[in-house]
Protein backbone atom coordinates (compact mmCIF):
# COMPACT_ATOMS: atom_id res chain seq x y z
CA UNK A 1 0.00 0.00 0.00
CA UNK A 2 1.52 3.36 -1.03
CA UNK A 3 1.58 6.52 1.07
CA UNK A 4 -1.46 8.06 -0.61
CA UNK A 5 -3.55 4.95 0.10
CA UNK A 6 -2.38 4.95 3.73
CA UNK A 7 -3.31 8.61 4.10
CA UNK A 8 -6.73 7.94 2.58
CA UNK A 9 -7.28 5.06 4.97
CA UNK A 10 -6.40 7.22 7.99
CA UNK A 11 -8.67 10.02 6.75
CA UNK A 12 -11.53 7.56 6.23
CA UNK A 13 -11.07 6.19 9.77
CA UNK A 14 -11.02 9.73 11.16
CA UNK A 15 -14.17 10.59 9.19
CA UNK A 16 -16.01 7.53 10.49
CA UNK A 17 -14.87 8.22 14.05
CA UNK A 18 -15.93 11.83 13.67
CA UNK A 19 -19.43 10.74 12.60
CA UNK A 20 -19.66 8.43 15.62
CA UNK A 21 -18.91 11.19 18.14
CA UNK A 22 -19.49 14.26 15.99
CA UNK A 23 -22.00 15.79 18.39
CA UNK A 24 -19.53 15.63 21.25
CA UNK A 25 -16.77 17.02 19.02
CA UNK A 26 -18.95 19.97 18.01
CA UNK A 27 -19.81 20.71 21.64
CA UNK A 28 -16.16 20.68 22.64
CA UNK A 29 -14.79 23.04 20.06
CA UNK A 30 -17.51 24.10 17.64
CA UNK A 31 -17.40 22.19 14.36
CA UNK A 32 -15.92 18.81 13.52
CA UNK A 33 -12.57 19.66 15.04
CA UNK A 34 -11.22 16.11 15.14
CA UNK A 35 -11.57 15.69 11.39
CA UNK A 36 -10.22 19.19 10.70
CA UNK A 37 -7.08 18.55 12.77
CA UNK A 38 -6.33 15.19 11.11
CA UNK A 39 -6.92 16.62 7.64
CA UNK A 40 -4.53 19.50 8.32
CA UNK A 41 -1.96 17.15 9.87
CA UNK A 42 -1.92 14.96 6.76
CA UNK A 43 -0.99 18.05 4.75
CA UNK A 44 1.50 19.55 7.23
CA UNK A 45 3.30 16.28 8.01
CA UNK A 46 4.67 15.99 4.47
CA UNK A 47 7.35 18.56 5.37
CA UNK A 48 8.04 17.30 8.91
CA UNK A 49 11.42 15.67 9.45
CA UNK A 50 11.19 14.74 13.14
CA UNK A 51 8.39 13.47 15.37
CA UNK A 52 8.91 16.41 17.76
CA UNK A 53 7.85 18.77 14.97
CA UNK A 54 4.55 16.88 14.83
CA UNK A 55 4.14 16.92 18.62
CA UNK A 56 4.74 20.67 18.77
CA UNK A 57 2.28 21.33 15.95
CA UNK A 58 -0.34 19.12 17.62
CA UNK A 59 0.11 20.76 21.01
CA UNK A 60 -0.68 24.16 19.47
CA UNK A 61 -3.53 23.12 17.16
CA UNK A 62 -5.32 20.94 19.74
CA UNK A 63 -5.06 23.69 22.32
CA UNK A 64 -6.50 26.27 19.93
CA UNK A 65 -9.31 24.21 18.45
CA UNK A 66 -10.38 22.29 21.56
CA UNK A 67 -9.79 25.12 24.03
CA UNK A 68 -7.05 23.50 26.14
CA UNK A 69 -5.08 26.15 28.01
CA UNK A 70 -1.82 24.18 28.28
CA UNK A 71 -0.98 20.89 26.60
CA UNK A 72 2.15 18.79 27.15
CA UNK A 73 3.59 15.61 25.61
CA UNK A 74 5.87 13.59 27.92
CA UNK A 75 7.57 10.33 26.94
CA UNK A 76 9.94 7.74 28.36
CA UNK A 77 13.51 8.01 27.07
CA UNK A 78 15.95 5.09 27.28
CA UNK A 79 19.72 5.55 27.45
CA UNK A 80 22.66 3.30 26.56
CA UNK A 81 23.39 3.02 30.30
CA UNK A 82 20.08 1.16 30.74
CA UNK A 83 18.46 4.08 32.57
CA UNK A 84 15.12 5.67 31.69
CA UNK A 85 13.97 9.26 32.10
CA UNK A 86 10.75 11.19 31.52
CA UNK A 87 11.35 13.73 28.76
CA UNK A 88 9.14 16.66 27.82
CA UNK A 89 8.72 16.37 24.04
CA UNK A 90 6.47 19.40 23.45
CA UNK A 91 4.40 21.95 25.32
CA UNK A 92 2.12 24.78 24.20
CA UNK A 93 -0.03 27.41 25.86
CA UNK A 94 -2.83 29.43 24.31
CA UNK A 95 -1.49 32.44 26.22
CA UNK A 96 1.74 33.45 24.48
CA UNK A 97 2.86 35.37 27.59
CA UNK A 98 2.41 32.39 29.90
CA UNK A 99 5.72 31.45 31.65
CA UNK A 100 6.23 27.79 30.77
CA UNK A 101 8.28 27.08 33.90
CA UNK A 102 4.93 27.01 35.74
CA UNK A 103 4.23 23.61 34.15
CA UNK A 104 7.67 22.57 32.87
CA UNK A 105 9.25 21.76 36.20
CA UNK A 106 10.39 18.94 38.48
CA UNK A 107 7.09 18.83 40.40
CA UNK A 108 5.04 18.12 37.27
CA UNK A 109 7.73 15.74 35.94
CA UNK A 110 7.56 13.68 39.14
CA UNK A 111 3.80 13.17 38.80
CA UNK A 112 4.19 12.30 35.11
CA UNK A 113 6.93 9.73 35.86
CA UNK A 114 4.52 7.89 38.16
CA UNK A 115 1.84 7.89 35.45
CA UNK A 116 4.33 6.58 32.87
CA UNK A 117 5.39 3.81 35.24
CA UNK A 118 1.78 2.83 35.94
CA UNK A 119 0.84 3.21 32.23
CA UNK A 120 -2.40 4.82 33.37
CA UNK A 121 -4.26 8.11 33.19
CA UNK A 122 -5.98 10.62 35.44
CA UNK A 123 -9.48 11.99 34.93
CA UNK A 124 -9.84 15.77 35.31
CA UNK A 125 -9.01 16.76 38.88
CA UNK A 126 -8.55 20.06 40.74
CA UNK A 127 -4.82 20.78 40.78
CA UNK A 128 -4.86 20.91 44.60
CA UNK A 129 -5.79 17.21 44.73
CA UNK A 130 -2.82 16.17 42.56
CA UNK A 131 0.10 18.53 43.16
CA UNK A 132 1.86 19.86 46.24
CA UNK A 133 0.29 22.95 47.81
CA UNK A 134 3.13 25.11 46.48
CA UNK A 135 2.74 23.84 42.90
CA UNK A 136 -1.06 24.01 43.09
CA UNK A 137 -0.87 27.63 44.29
CA UNK A 138 1.47 28.47 41.42
CA UNK A 139 -0.89 26.92 38.87
CA UNK A 140 -3.93 28.66 40.39
CA UNK A 141 -2.10 31.98 40.27
CA UNK A 142 -2.04 31.58 36.47
CA UNK A 143 -5.68 30.50 36.39
CA UNK A 144 -4.98 26.80 35.78
CA UNK A 145 -7.35 25.02 38.13
CA UNK A 146 -7.75 21.55 36.59
CA UNK A 147 -5.38 18.86 35.39
CA UNK A 148 -5.86 15.58 33.53
CA UNK A 149 -3.76 13.17 31.49
CA UNK A 150 -3.93 9.95 29.50
CA UNK A 151 -1.40 7.31 28.48
CA UNK A 152 -0.45 6.17 24.98
CA UNK A 153 1.77 3.16 24.35
CA UNK A 154 2.82 1.10 21.35
CA UNK A 155 5.66 -1.02 20.01
CA UNK A 156 6.87 1.75 17.69
CA UNK A 157 10.25 3.33 18.37
CA UNK A 158 10.28 6.98 19.36
CA UNK A 159 13.57 8.66 18.35
CA UNK A 160 15.49 10.80 20.86
CA UNK A 161 14.58 14.46 21.30
CA UNK A 162 15.23 16.55 18.20
CA UNK A 163 17.43 18.86 20.31
CA UNK A 164 19.33 16.12 22.17
CA UNK A 165 23.10 15.73 21.94
CA UNK A 166 23.95 12.28 20.41
CA UNK A 167 26.84 11.92 22.86
CA UNK A 168 24.41 11.86 25.79
CA UNK A 169 23.49 8.27 24.96
CA UNK A 170 19.74 8.61 24.30
CA UNK A 171 18.46 5.77 22.09
CA UNK A 172 15.16 5.06 20.26
CA UNK A 173 12.60 3.88 22.80
CA UNK A 174 9.31 1.96 22.50
CA UNK A 175 6.62 4.60 22.64
CA UNK A 176 5.30 5.29 26.16
CA UNK A 177 3.70 8.72 26.30
CA UNK A 178 1.58 10.81 28.65
CA UNK A 179 -0.50 13.66 27.25
CA UNK A 180 -0.99 16.23 30.04
CA UNK A 181 -3.68 18.95 30.04
CA UNK A 182 -4.12 22.04 32.22
CA UNK A 183 -7.39 23.97 31.98
CA UNK A 184 -9.14 26.90 33.65
CA UNK A 185 -12.54 25.23 33.74
CA UNK A 186 -13.68 21.66 34.25
CA UNK A 187 -13.02 20.00 30.85
CA UNK A 188 -15.87 18.70 28.71
CA UNK A 189 -16.55 15.01 29.50
CA UNK A 190 -15.56 13.96 25.98
CA UNK A 191 -12.44 16.13 25.67
CA UNK A 192 -9.99 13.43 26.77
CA UNK A 193 -11.38 10.74 24.46
CA UNK A 194 -11.41 13.18 21.52
CA UNK A 195 -7.76 14.16 22.02
CA UNK A 196 -6.78 10.53 22.48
CA UNK A 197 -8.45 9.63 19.18
CA UNK A 198 -6.62 12.48 17.45
CA UNK A 199 -3.30 11.27 18.87
CA UNK A 200 -3.91 7.70 17.72
CA UNK A 201 -4.52 8.93 14.18
CA UNK A 202 -1.48 11.22 14.44
CA UNK A 203 0.78 8.31 15.42
CA UNK A 204 -0.45 6.34 12.41
CA UNK A 205 0.48 9.28 10.20
CA UNK A 206 3.88 9.55 11.92
CA UNK A 207 4.52 5.87 11.22
CA UNK A 208 3.59 6.29 7.56
CA UNK A 209 5.93 9.29 7.29
CA UNK A 210 8.83 7.35 8.82
CA UNK A 211 8.95 9.56 11.93
CA UNK A 212 8.53 6.49 14.16
CA UNK A 213 9.05 2.85 13.27
CA UNK A 214 8.50 -0.72 14.39
CA UNK A 215 11.03 -2.30 16.73
CA UNK A 216 13.67 -3.96 14.55
CA UNK A 217 12.96 -1.59 11.67
CA UNK A 218 14.91 1.58 12.53
CA UNK A 219 13.71 4.96 11.37
CA UNK A 220 17.27 5.71 10.30
CA UNK A 221 20.76 4.31 10.54
CA UNK A 222 21.30 6.54 13.58
CA UNK A 223 19.18 4.15 15.63
CA UNK A 224 21.48 1.24 14.93
CA UNK A 225 24.50 3.43 15.58
CA UNK A 226 23.12 4.59 18.91
CA UNK A 227 22.35 1.05 19.99
CA UNK A 228 25.86 -0.02 19.12
CA UNK A 229 27.43 2.62 21.31
CA UNK A 230 29.42 1.05 24.16
CA UNK A 231 28.13 1.61 27.64
CA UNK A 232 29.83 4.31 29.66
CA UNK A 233 32.77 2.98 31.66
CA UNK A 234 32.64 3.23 35.43
CA UNK A 235 35.47 4.79 37.41
CA UNK A 236 36.57 1.43 38.84
CA UNK A 237 37.01 -0.05 35.34
CA UNK A 238 39.70 2.48 34.38
CA UNK A 239 43.38 1.44 34.41
CA UNK A 240 46.09 3.65 35.98
CA UNK A 241 49.46 3.93 34.20
CA UNK A 242 52.72 5.47 35.39
CA UNK A 243 53.52 8.76 33.67
CA UNK A 244 57.15 7.61 33.43
CA UNK A 245 58.52 4.10 33.46
CA UNK A 246 60.82 4.15 36.50
CA UNK A 247 62.49 0.82 35.72
CA UNK A 248 63.37 1.93 32.19
CA UNK A 249 64.64 5.26 33.49
CA UNK A 250 66.90 3.55 36.04
CA UNK A 251 68.15 1.07 33.45
CA UNK A 252 69.43 4.03 31.40
CA UNK A 253 70.94 5.64 34.52
CA UNK A 254 71.37 3.27 37.49
CA UNK A 255 72.12 6.24 39.78
CA UNK A 256 68.89 8.03 38.96
CA UNK A 257 66.52 8.47 41.88
CA UNK A 258 63.14 6.74 41.75
CA UNK A 259 59.87 8.62 42.09
CA UNK A 260 59.58 10.10 45.59
CA UNK A 261 56.05 9.78 47.02
CA UNK A 262 55.55 11.10 50.54
CA UNK A 263 52.08 9.67 51.13
CA UNK A 264 52.30 6.09 52.37
CA UNK A 265 49.08 4.77 50.81
CA UNK A 266 49.74 6.60 47.54
CA UNK A 267 53.22 5.05 47.47
CA UNK A 268 51.76 1.58 48.10
CA UNK A 269 49.24 2.06 45.32
CA UNK A 270 51.83 3.48 42.92
CA UNK A 271 54.06 0.41 43.12
CA UNK A 272 51.06 -1.90 42.70
CA UNK A 273 50.24 -0.27 39.35
CA UNK A 274 51.32 -2.42 36.42
CA UNK A 275 49.32 -0.90 33.55
CA UNK A 276 47.02 -3.95 33.49
CA UNK A 277 45.01 -3.91 36.70
CA UNK A 278 41.87 -1.80 36.89
CA UNK A 279 41.20 0.51 39.81
CA UNK A 280 38.88 -2.09 41.31
CA UNK A 281 41.56 -4.79 41.01
CA UNK A 282 44.17 -2.50 42.56
CA UNK A 283 41.83 -1.87 45.46
CA UNK A 284 41.57 -5.61 46.04
CA UNK A 285 45.32 -6.23 45.76
CA UNK A 286 46.24 -3.37 48.13
CA UNK A 287 43.26 -4.05 50.43
CA UNK A 288 42.27 -0.40 50.39
CA UNK A 289 38.66 0.64 50.82
CA UNK A 290 37.05 3.00 48.32
CA UNK A 291 37.84 6.14 50.32
CA UNK A 292 41.50 5.21 50.79
CA UNK A 293 41.79 4.24 47.14
CA UNK A 294 40.22 7.50 45.93
CA UNK A 295 42.47 9.54 48.22
CA UNK A 296 45.62 7.77 47.00
CA UNK A 297 44.58 8.15 43.34
CA UNK A 298 43.83 11.84 43.85
CA UNK A 299 47.31 12.34 45.33
CA UNK A 300 49.06 10.52 42.46
CA UNK A 301 47.05 12.33 39.81
CA UNK A 302 47.62 15.72 41.40
CA UNK A 303 51.36 15.05 41.54
CA UNK A 304 51.20 13.89 37.90
CA UNK A 305 52.70 10.50 38.74
CA UNK A 306 49.95 8.57 36.91
CA UNK A 307 47.34 8.83 34.16
CA UNK A 308 44.03 7.01 33.84
CA UNK A 309 43.35 4.96 30.70
CA UNK A 310 40.39 3.12 29.27
CA UNK A 311 40.93 -0.64 28.73
CA UNK A 312 41.54 0.11 25.04
CA UNK A 313 44.47 2.39 25.99
CA UNK A 314 42.74 5.74 25.45
CA UNK A 315 43.80 8.38 28.00
CA UNK A 316 40.96 9.66 30.19
CA UNK A 317 40.57 13.20 31.47
CA UNK A 318 40.82 12.56 35.21
CA UNK A 319 39.38 15.98 36.10
CA UNK A 320 35.88 14.59 35.53
CA UNK A 321 36.39 12.30 38.53
CA UNK A 322 38.32 14.56 40.90
CA UNK A 323 37.29 18.14 41.52
In order along its 323 residues, the chain shows pLDDT tens digits of: 444 555 555 555 545 555 555 444 444 444 488 889 999 999 999 999 999 999 999 999 999 999 999 999 999 999 888 888 899 999 999 998 999 999 999 999 999 999 999 999 999 999 999 999 999 999 999 999 999 999 999 889 999 998 766 657 899 999 999 999 999 999 999 999 999 999 999 999 999 999 998 765 444 334 334 443 444 567 788 899 998 654 444 455 544 445 788 899 999 999 999 999 999 899 989 998 888 888 899 899 888 899 998 887 888 877 655 54
Question: Which of 178, 199, 227 represents a domain boundary (last residue)?
Answer: 227
Query: In 142-300, which ranges are E strands?
Result: 146-158, 170-171, 173-183, 213-214, 239-242
Question: Do 59 and 117 have their domain in common?
Answer: yes
Question: Which of 227, 252, 269 represents a domain boundary (last residue)?
Answer: 227
Question: Do 265 and 218 have their domain in common?
Answer: no
CATH number of the structural domain spanning residue 302: 1.10.10.10
pTM exceeds 0.75: no
Task: Tell whether the torsion through CA atoms of 7, 9, 10 and 16 is positive or negative.
Answer: positive
Inter-residue contact 86 to 107 (CB < 8 Å): no
Question: Do 240 and 223 have their domain in common?
Answer: no
| Residues whose CB falls within 8 Å of the CB of residue 191, separated by 6 or more in sequence, listed in order | 28, 66, 68, 181
Question: Which of 205, 227, 249 represents a domain boundary (last residue)?
Answer: 227
Question: Do 215 and 253 have their domain in common?
Answer: no
Q: Considering its fold, how many domains does the chain have in total?
A: 2
| Residues whose CB falls within 8 Å of the CB of residue 297, separated by 6 or more in sequence, listed in order | 240, 269, 279, 306, 322
Question: Do 159 and 99 have their domain in common?
Answer: yes
Q: Which of 127, 146, 145 is nearest to 189 (CA)?
A: 146
Question: Do 268 and 300 have their domain in common?
Answer: yes
CATH number of the structural domain spanning residue 45: 3.30.450.40
Question: Do 69 and 183 have their domain in common?
Answer: yes
Whole-number pLDDT of residue 26: 45
**What is the rounded CA–CA span in Å between residue 248 and residue 235?**
29
Question: Do 26 and 106 have their domain in common?
Answer: yes
Whole-number pLDDT of residue 87: 93
Question: Do 79 and 199 have their domain in common?
Answer: yes
Question: Do 242 and 215 have their domain in common?
Answer: no
Question: Do 151 and 211 have their domain in common?
Answer: yes
| Residues whose CB falls within 8 Å of the CB of residue 229, separated by 6 or more in sequence, listed in order | 80, 169, 171
Whole-number pLDDT of residue 217: 44
Question: Do 45 and 165 have their domain in common?
Answer: yes
Structural domain boundaries enclosing 209: 3-227
Whole-number pLDDT of residue 271: 92
Amino acid sequence: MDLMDLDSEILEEAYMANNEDGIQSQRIGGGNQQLVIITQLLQMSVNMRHIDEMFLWLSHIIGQRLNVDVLQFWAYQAHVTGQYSAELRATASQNTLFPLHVVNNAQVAEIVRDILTERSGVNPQPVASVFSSRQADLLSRYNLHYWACFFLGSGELLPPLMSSDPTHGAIPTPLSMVVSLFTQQTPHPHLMSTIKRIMEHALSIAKNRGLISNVGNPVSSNIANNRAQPRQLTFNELIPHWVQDVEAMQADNPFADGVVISDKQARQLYFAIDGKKSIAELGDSTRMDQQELSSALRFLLKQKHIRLHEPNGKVVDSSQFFV
